[in-house]
Chain A
Amino acid sequence: AQSVTQLDSQVPVFEEAPVELRCNYSSSVSVYLFWYVQYPNQGLQLLLKYLSGSTLVKGINGFEAEFNKSQTSFHLRKPSVHISDTAEYFCAVIPQGSNYQLIWGAGTKLIIKP
């Protein structure tokens, strides 16, 4: 069975500091990978996705993620965070050849300290 693990439930970081949100997955087949963001009282929004090609993927709002197949990871990074980045971030995968169902991690709350 496939699963997604987000290693940190909360990540506090000072404003303008860099941040990395970790995501690891387990799957017997290749996967497609996604990061979604959920701002307070809003719906989930796609940040970025990896389907194929370059393993470094750039998304919206200055975020990027790198797919590492050997480590089965897809960590999300931003070089300098802002107060507006306060949100919950979800990593998700779709196993290739599956019924298209997104398998979600439990989420990581990014807390920006002024």
Chain B
Amino acid sequence: EAGVVQSPRYKIIEKKQPVAFWCNPISGHNTLYWYLQNLGQGPELLIRYENEEAVDDSQLPKDRFSAERLKGVDSTLKIQPAELGDSAVYLCASSLQGTYNEQFFGPGTRLTVL
């Protein structure tokens, strides 16, 4: 069974440019998460989806970040415009619906903003 797929794995852009990350969760997983991970820190939740509905986006900086999961399967996270402080690893995870089901993580996208 394929795991969580993310692309691209690495992205280098100049500040003020837009960038998008794509995630395909494990088949059958209703819940999808986007996290941000800075060096030397644990992941920070950006947004959580149950199917196509964003049920927790309280920590998503909505002035520049947006996300969508139109058909309740794959998802895209966008930053526009990117700032230097956005340099980090962006992780996608998925799980079966329910509170304590194991979250399966993708390898992440490492973003460098110059």
Contacts and interface: CB of A to CB of B under 8 A. Distances in A.
A binds B: yes
Interface of A: 4, 9, 32, 36, 41-46, 49, 51, 90, 92, 94, 99-102, 104-107
A102 B108 CA distance: 18
B42 A90 contact: yes
Interface residues of B, number: 21
B42 A107 contact: yes
B67 interface: no
B105 A43 contact: yes
Nearest to B6: A43
Contact of B106 (A43, A46, A100): A43
Nearest to A51: B100
A104 B42 contact: yes
Contacts of B48: 100-101
Interface in B80-114: 91, 93, 99-100, 102-108
Interface of B is mostly: loop
B91 A43 contact: yes
Contact of A102 (B3, B40, B41, B103): B103
30 contacts: A32-B100, A36-B105, A42-B107, A43-B104, A43-B106, A44-B43, A44-B93, A44-B103, A44-B105, A45-B105, A46-B102, A46-B103, A49-B100, A90-B42, A90-B43, A94-B99, A100-B48, A100-B99, A100-B100, A101-B45, A101-B56, A102-B45, A104-B41, A104-B43, A104-B44, A105-B42, A106-B41, A107-B40, A107-B41, A107-B42
Contacts of B100: 32, 49, 51, 94, 100
B4 interface: yes
A26 B44 CA distance: 18
A91 to B, nearest CB: 8
A65 B3 CA distance: 26
B40 A9 contact: yes
B39 to A, nearest CB: 10
B60 to A, nearest CB: 13
Contacts of B103: 44, 46, 102
